[in-house]
Amino acid sequence: MDLISESGSIILTSFGLTLRLAFFSGIFSLLLGVVLAIFRVSPVPVLRWVGAAVVYTFRNTPLTLVMFFALFGLSYQLGLSFDEDLIWRNAFWLAVLALSVYTSTFVCEVLRSGINTVPLGQAEAARAIGLTFTQNLRLVVLPQALRSVINPLASVIIAMTKNTTVAVTIGVTTASMVNEASGQMKTLMEKNSDQILLIFIIFAVGFMILTLPIGFFAGWASKRFAVAR
């Protein structure tokens, strides 16, 4: 158990970084996912095409490639930089960007299936009483759609939390030599090759601590907010 006393604080910091990645990516992917879903069901053809193009492109590209493109393509080739001086901050926000865009396509498709659970008659009724498309979506359709997809949405967010580990391909590190969790796991395994089993367990438990509450909360919330039909 020397490992824990020696590396405990580093492991905690690395999970802190992973948590921050997951937090920001979670917020942005939910927001962007809602926008994409609205695009995909909107009456304007151009918006539908844009929505479909984004979803098909990023849903079908491996996250590793999206992540790689964010740093080497967007940042190194095209000059997009979140921070000119601090390389870790640039890498961090590029990772958030890549994760958000990638995850938002799944959020969008989950939401779209939620929209399909709302009986067509309701949207027609809303139109009949004079609501515009936006009002219809905002007041009638989306609230019900969201409440019916809480559980699958939680699965998407859990998958996203685990996907933060892919950020290691673009080297998301802090200035103080602390890597995000999967990179830290690799470092520790290299230095303590006799304790691989223990290290694996520590990190598996760490990720469970991050993701299990999301699942429990979603289970509770989906019961609490379920739409009675």
Q: Which of residues 176-195 bind another protein (CB under 8 A)?
A: 177, 179, 182-183, 185-187, 189-191, 193-194
Min dist. Cβ of residue 194 to another protein (A): 7
What is the smallest separation between the CB atom of 123 and another protein, expressed in angstroms? Answer: 44
Torsion sign (Cα): 197, 99, 31, 88: positive
The residue written with tokens 């940042």 in the block is 75
Among residues 23, 49, 56, 76, the one that binds another protein under rule CB under 8 A: 76
Angle, CA 23 vertex, CA 29 and CA 3 arms, to 5°: 135
**Separation of alpha carbons 1 and 33, rounded Å:** 43
Closest by CA to 159, choosing from 12, 15, 17, 25, is 25
Q: For another protein, which stretch binds (CB under 8 A), given 27-35, 69-77, 113-121, 134-142?
A: 69-77
Does 72 interact with another protein (rule: CB under 8 A)? yes
Interactions with another protein, residue window 135-164 (CB under 8 A): none
* 60: amino acid identity, one letter: N
> Is residue 69 a contact point for another protein (CB under 8 A)?
no
> Which CB sits closer to another protein, 104 or 164?
164
CA–CA distance, 93 with 182 (Å, rounded to integer): 18
CB of 187 to another protein, least distance (A): 4
Contact set for another protein, span 86-105 (CB under 8 A): 86-88, 91
Task: Pull the structure tokens for residue 173.
Answer: 């590190």
Question: Tokens at residue 46, please?
Answer: 């151009």
Cβ proximity to another protein, 63 vs 142, nearer residue: 63
The C-alpha angle 111, 115, 116, rounded to 5 degrees, equals 120
Distance CA 194, CA 76 (A): 39
Residue 208 interacts with another protein (CB under 8 A): yes or no: no
User: Which residue ranges make up the site for another protein (CB under 8 A)?
Assistant: 64, 72, 75-77, 86-88, 91, 165, 168-171, 173, 175, 177, 179, 182-183, 185-187, 189-191, 193-194, 196-197, 199-200, 203
